[in-house]
């Protein structure tokens, strides 16, 4: 008890800030959850749901999929009919692949029809903004609490990068040349991210140069592979809306995807070499190379796993759906997840190539600085 | 094409990482095999959440302990990864059960393929969302965990008079540096992946409120952000566990140290 009191009196300020943050965050979430009046379309909250069994359907492998009908009562939350109740019906299947099961408390976008005084609602979608706000808020608070000013700067660089990204795509849709936009985009991404999070120093400049060299080399390697060996089947890509520039869009996706990882490696190697040269002035070239290799071992394996998991996990539901629909592993790898795999492999090559390049660049830059003094 | 890229990667890893590069490549292949196995097990109808937890334990042991050898730092980071996964599974559970982001998104429905695939698969898509979120963050938190654990161990090896407090302090400082870059890795991987989707959203003229409430956006954003949340949850966890294991005189800490030493000899 005493120790708790002592802790409180010692960390009064931090606890106060923490308390204020929690209160503000809760208020923010409450606000987002009740922002019905900002939406032009009608929103309704599910009040009560009753279900009945509809039918069973046979699946491709003899599974039995059950279908249910939900009778939903909703309370309308905005617009002219605010506060009134409406009825709706919804069919869902037990796996929810292209149907949705609604629960009491869900908030839905609806179209309301009046039929001799009785209101019926047609469900158009789910209101998910509260979840987005919840996760984004947690991320923001955590970043600022754990890494303070640096965390805030990272978030600022995110916002700038997203704005640049969206703006360049708008320009592209207006008919600008995609490759030029893409080069510009990569340049701005790298510069803002490195300088905002790393500060302006020789180290950051070195990391910037290494990142650009690595990206160009990765691009060359990819270009060689697709010219001399095989072109990926671009027409099988997901979400195609116009069949132009598919190859450069995919390439841009690859390069931007591995940009983060390459910058990570470059910053790590540059700080380490900087630290080594600072602490031991008379380090030999051989020792330096040895140390860089040592860092390489540590970085490589786990960094590649970051890319593996973040690329492949996203397509998991589609893969399971296709496996159950009788796709073989070979055809999945050959035609369906090939783009994720190429992205992953080229990204990993980028990570591996970044290590020696960052090493050489950092030794050149720091070494030159050393002879000057 | 995939084979060519794979061979190129292997050659580069061997050239730059030497024997340990080879070991990393082997661990990578093992991870991919387990991932494929896990997809087939889910397809057989075994609960996806159970599979996710089991596979996470296997991935962690392959990537951390097998690839880097048994030592205090690898065991400490493996423990912390499992702890953070358990904490975040609550968040992933809330999102996957309530946010209704399972199944085809608005964009998938406009794809041709959604019209001829049978949807009668009798596998809960919500559980799959859970698996997607947890697998997505696994790589990032393993990376952060091992980086911090090895930095703390390095400090301790250079100066073993350092107390728990000193180690925890330097662990936090290292964590701060690593956090920014790892968060960026995930962020750019996400942006690169969603290039086509963003184009579609802009082409269809989505307004901000439709975008925020759409399934595809909510799914992608919660994946990226929950991975990032995992990255900063792991920093205090791994700092605490590694520092405790290195400095504590408690009987359990000594027992664990003995056990790890025995493992590393085998």
Confidence check: pLDDT of A264 > 50: yes
Mean pLDDT, rounded, for B140-154: 89
Question: Which chain A residue lies closest to B142 (C-alpha atoms)?
Answer: A302
| pLDDT at residue A209 in the model | 94
Domain boundaries, chain B: 65-265
- Are A74 and A99 within one domain? yes
Confidence check: pLDDT of B61 > 80: yes
- Are A46 and A76 within one domain? yes
Q: Provide, as residue numbers in chain A, all residues whose Cβ is less than 8 Å from the Cβ of B104.
A: 97-98
**Final residue in a domain of this structure, among A127, A151, A185:** A127
Q: How many helices (H) and strands (E) does chain A have?
A: 10, 5
| pLDDT at residue A351 in the model | 92
Instruction: Say if CB A315 and CB A338 are below 8 A apart.
Output: no
- Are A88 and A76 within one domain? yes
Mean pLDDT, rounded, for A90-116: 86
- Are A193 and A315 within one domain? yes
Question: Which chain A residue lies closest to B205 (C-alpha atoms)?
Answer: A170
Give the CA distances from residue B115 to residues A145, A243, B105, B111, in Å, rounded to whole numbers and listed in that order.
47, 21, 13, 8
More reliable by pLDDT, A81 or B146? B146
Quick one: CA torsion of A192, A194, A200, A205, rounded to 10 degrees?
-110
Cα(A193)–Cα(A14) distance, integer angstroms: 29
User: Is A143 within a domain?
Assistant: no
- Are A211 and A359 within one domain? yes
Q: What is the domain extent for residue A53?
A: 39-127
Q: Provide, as residue numbers in chain A, all residues whose Cβ is less than 8 Å from the Cβ of B129.
A: 317
Separation in Å, CA of B103 to nearest CA in chain A: 4
A173-182, A219-228, B18-27, B103-112: least confident range: B103-112
Give the CA distances from residue A328 to residues A48, A324, A345, B198, B220, in Å, rounded to whole numbers and listed in that order.
43, 9, 22, 30, 27
A4-8, A185-189, A205-209, B18-22: least confident range: A4-8
Q: Provide, as residue numbers in chain A, all residues whose Cβ is less than 8 Å from the Cβ of B185.
A: 260-261, 263-264, 303, 306-307
Confidence check: pLDDT of A373 > 50: no
User: Is A184 within a domain?
Assistant: yes
| pLDDT at residue B83 in the model | 95
Mean pLDDT, rounded, for A353-370: 81
Task: Tell how far CA B220 is from the center of its chain.
Answer: 16
Q: For position A112, which CATH number holds?
A: 2.40.50
Q: Provide, as residue numbers in chain A, all residues whose Cβ is less than 8 Å from the Cβ of B223.
A: 310, 313-314
| pLDDT at residue B87 in the model | 93
Task: Tell how far CA A156 is from the center of its chain.
Answer: 16
* Structure confidence by residue, pLDDT tens digits, A336-354: 888 889 999 999 999 999 9
Confidence check: pLDDT of A243 > 70: no
User: Is A136 within a domain?
Assistant: no
More reliable by pLDDT, A99 or A23? A23
Q: Provide, as residue numbers in chain A, all residues whose Cβ is less than 8 Å from the Cβ of B220.
A: 314
Neighbours of A326 (CB within 10 A): 11
User: Is A169 within a domain?
Assistant: no
Q: How crowded is the C-beta side of A270, counted as CA atoms within 13 Å?
A: 29
The size of the A-B interface in CB pairs under 8 A is 371
A69–chain B Cβ distance below 8 A for any pair? no
Find tokens 């959850």 and name the residue. A33
Q: Place A366 in a pLDDT band, splitting at 50, 70 and 90.
A: confident
Question: Which chain B residue lies closest to A253 (C-alpha atoms)?
Answer: B192
Question: Which chain B residue lies closest to A243 (C-alpha atoms)?
Answer: B196
Confidence check: pLDDT of A371 > 50: no
Nearest to B102 by CA among A321, A346, A66, A152: A321
DSSP 8-state secondary structure symbol assigned to residue A67: E
Which of A132, A150, A249 is nearest residue B195 as measured by Cβ atoms?
Answer: A249
Which of A59, A132, A317 is nearest residue B221 as measured by Cβ atoms?
Answer: A132
| pLDDT at residue A370 in the model | 54
User: Is A138 within a domain?
Assistant: no
Structural element, H or E, at residue B194:
none
Separation in Å, CA of B209 to nearest CA in chain A: 8
Q: Provide, as residue numbers in chain A, all residues whose Cβ is less than 8 Å from the Cβ of B26.
A: none
| pLDDT at residue A349 in the model | 93
Confidence check: pLDDT of B194 > 90: no
User: Is A83 within a domain?
Assistant: yes
Q: Place A372 in a pLDDT band, splitting at 50, 70 and 90.
A: very low
Mean pLDDT, rounded, for A294-304: 79
| pLDDT at residue A242 in the model | 66
Give the CA distances from residue A266 to residues A112, A171, A344, B59, B120, in Å, rounded to whole numbers and listed in that order.
56, 31, 19, 26, 48
Helix axes B125-158, B215-247, angle to 10 degrees: 30
| pLDDT at residue A348 in the model | 93
Which of B91, B103, B120 is nearest residue A65 as measured by Cβ atoms?
Answer: B120
Which of B95, B121, B235 is nearest residue A321 as measured by Cβ atoms?
Answer: B121
**Final residue in a domain of this structure, among A111, A127, A143:** A127
Q: Place A41 in a pLDDT band, splitting at 50, 70 and 90.
A: confident
- Are A203 and A241 within one domain? yes
| Burial of residue A339, with CB atoms counted within 10 A of its CB: 0-12 exposed, 13-18 middle, 19 or more buried | buried
In A77-205, DSSP assigns E strands to 85-93, 107-115, 118-126
| pLDDT at residue A36 in the model | 87
Separation in Å, CA of A52 to nearest CA in chain B: 18
Q: Quick check: helix, strand or coil at residue A89?
A: strand
**Would you state the structure tokens that stand for residue B95, as one six-digit string?**
């999102």
Confidence check: pLDDT of B50 > 90: yes
- Are A81 and A194 within one domain? no
Q: Provide, as residue numbers in chain B, all residues whose Cβ is less than 8 Å from the Cβ of A247.
A: none
Separation in Å, CA of A368 to nearest CA in chain B: 25
- Are A102 and A215 within one domain? no
Return the biggest CA–CA distance within chain B: 67
A233–chain B Cβ distance below 8 A for any pair? no
Which of A65, A147, A226 is nearest residue B176 as measured by Cβ atoms?
Answer: A147
User: Is A149 within a domain?
Assistant: no
The interface predicted TM-score of the complex, written ipTM, equals: 0.90
Confidence check: pLDDT of A163 > 90: yes
Please state, for a pLDDT cut of 70, what percent of chain B lies above it.
Answer: 100
| pLDDT at residue A321 in the model | 87
Q: Provide, as residue numbers in chain B, all residues whose Cβ is less than 8 Å from the Cβ of A157.
A: 184
Task: Tell how far CA A181 is from the center of its chain.
Answer: 21
Mean pLDDT, rounded, for B234-252: 88
| pLDDT at residue A369 in the model | 52
Helix axes B125-158, B48-60, angle to 10 degrees: 20
Interface contact flag, B181 A311, Cβ < 8 Å: no
- Are A267 and A330 within one domain? yes
User: Exposure string (b/e) for A113-122, b if CB count within 10 Å is 16 or more?
Assistant: eeeeeebebe
Q: Provide, as residue numbers in chain A, all residues whose Cβ is less than 8 Å from the Cβ of B67.
A: 301
Confidence check: pLDDT of B56 > 90: yes
Task: Tell how far CA A263 is from the center of its chain.
Answer: 17
Neighbours of B13 (CB within 10 A): 25
**Final residue in a domain of this structure, among A127, A160, A188:** A127
Provide the domain count of chain A.
3
Instruction: Say if CB A221 and CB A294 are below 8 A apart.
Output: no
Per-chain mean pLDDT for chain A? 86
Interface contact flag, B182 A264, Cβ < 8 Å: yes
DSSP states of A303-353: HHHHHHHHHHGGGHHHHHHHHHTT--HHHIIIIISHHHHHHHHHHHHHHHH
Separation in Å, CA of A350 to nearest CA in chain B: 9
Please state, for a pLDDT cut of 90, what percent of chain A lies above it.
Answer: 23
Confidence check: pLDDT of B51 > 90: yes
DSSP 8-state secondary structure symbol assigned to residue B46: -
Within the 89-148 window of chain A, which residues sit less than 8 Å (CB to CB) from chain B?
93-100, 103, 106, 109, 125-129, 131-132, 135-136, 138-139, 142-143, 146-148
User: Is A21 within a domain?
Assistant: yes
Please state, for a pLDDT cut of 90, what percent of chain B lies above it.
Answer: 29
């Amino acid at each position: 008890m005493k120790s708790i009191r002592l802790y409180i009196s010692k960390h009064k300020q931090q606890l106060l800030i923490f308390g204020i943050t929690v209160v503000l965050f809760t208020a923010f979430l409450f606000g987002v959850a009740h922002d019905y009046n900002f939406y032009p379309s009608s929103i309704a909250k599910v009040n009560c749901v009753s279900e009945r069994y509809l039918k069973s359907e046979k699946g491709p492998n003899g599974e039995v999929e059950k279908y249910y009908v939900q009778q939903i009562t909703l309370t309308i939350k905005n617009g002219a009919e605010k506060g009134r109740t409406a009825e709706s019906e919804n069919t869902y299947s037990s796996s929810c692949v292209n149907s949705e099961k609604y629960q009491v408390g869900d908030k839905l976008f609806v179209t309301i029809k009046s039929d001799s005084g009785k209101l019926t609602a047609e469900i158009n979608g789910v209101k998910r903004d509260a979840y987005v706000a919840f996760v984004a808020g947690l991320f923001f608070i955590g970043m600022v609490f754990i890494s303070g000013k640096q965390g805030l700067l990272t978030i600022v660089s995110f916002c700038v990068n997203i704005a640049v990204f969206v703006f360049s795509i708008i320009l592209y849709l207006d008919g600008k040349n995609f490759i030029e936009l893409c080069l510009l985009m990569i340049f701005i991404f790298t510069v803002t991210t490195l300088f905002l999070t790393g500060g302006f120093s020789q180290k950051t400049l070195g990391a910037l140069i290494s990142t650009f060299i690595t990206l160009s080399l990765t691009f060359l390697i990819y270009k060689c592979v697709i010219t001399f060996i095989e072109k990926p089947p671009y027409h099988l890509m997901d979400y195609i809306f116009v069949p132009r520039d598919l190859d450069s869009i995919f390439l841009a996706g690859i390069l931007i995807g591995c940009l983060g990882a390459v910058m990570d490696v470059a910053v790590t190697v540059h700080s380490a070499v900087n630290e080594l040269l600072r602490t031991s002035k008379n380090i030999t070239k051989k020792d330096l190379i040895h140390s860089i290799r040592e860092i390489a071992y540590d970085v490589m394996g786990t960094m590649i796993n970051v890319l593996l998991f973040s690329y492949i996990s996203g397509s998991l539901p589609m893969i399971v759906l296709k496996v159950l629909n009788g796709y073989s592993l070979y055809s999945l790898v050959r035609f369906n997840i090939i783009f994720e795999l190429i992205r992953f492999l080229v990204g990993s090559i980028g990570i591996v190539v970044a290590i020696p390049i960052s090493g050489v660049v950092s030794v050149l830059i720091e070494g030159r600085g050393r002879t000057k003094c | 094409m995939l084979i060519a890229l794979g061979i190129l990667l292997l050659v580069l890893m061997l050239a730059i990482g030497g024997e340990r590069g080879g070991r990393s490549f082997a661990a990578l292949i093992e991870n991919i095999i387990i991932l494929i196995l896990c997809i087939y097990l889910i397809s057989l109808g075994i609960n996806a959440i159970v599979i996710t937890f089991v596979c996470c334990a296997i991935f962690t042991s392959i990537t951390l302990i097998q690839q880097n050898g048994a030592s205090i730092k690898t065991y400490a980071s493996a423990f912390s990864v499992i702890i953070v996964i358990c904490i975040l599974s609550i968040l992933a559970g809330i999102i996957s059960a309530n946010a209704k982001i399972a199944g085809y998104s608005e964009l998938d429905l406009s794809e041709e393929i959604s019209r001829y695939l049978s949807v009668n698969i009798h596998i809960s898509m919500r559980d799959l969302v859970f698996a997607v979120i947890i697998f997505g963050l696994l790589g990032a938190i393993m990376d952060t965990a091992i980086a911090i654990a090895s930095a703390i161990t390095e400090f301790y090896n250079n100066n073993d008079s350092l107390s728990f407090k000193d180690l925890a302090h330097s662990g936090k400082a290292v964590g701060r540096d690593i956090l920014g870059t790892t968060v960026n890795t995930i962020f750019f991987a996400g942006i690169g992946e969603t290039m086509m989707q963003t184009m579609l959203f802009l082409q269809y003229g989505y307004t901000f409120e439709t975008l925020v409430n759409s399934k595809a956006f909510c799914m992608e954003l919660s994946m990226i952000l929950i991975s990032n949340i995992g990255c900063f949850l792991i920093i205090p966890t791994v700092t605490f566990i590694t520092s405790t294991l290195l400095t504590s005189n408690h009987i359990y800490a000594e027992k664990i140290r003995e056990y790890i030493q025995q493992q590393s000899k085998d």
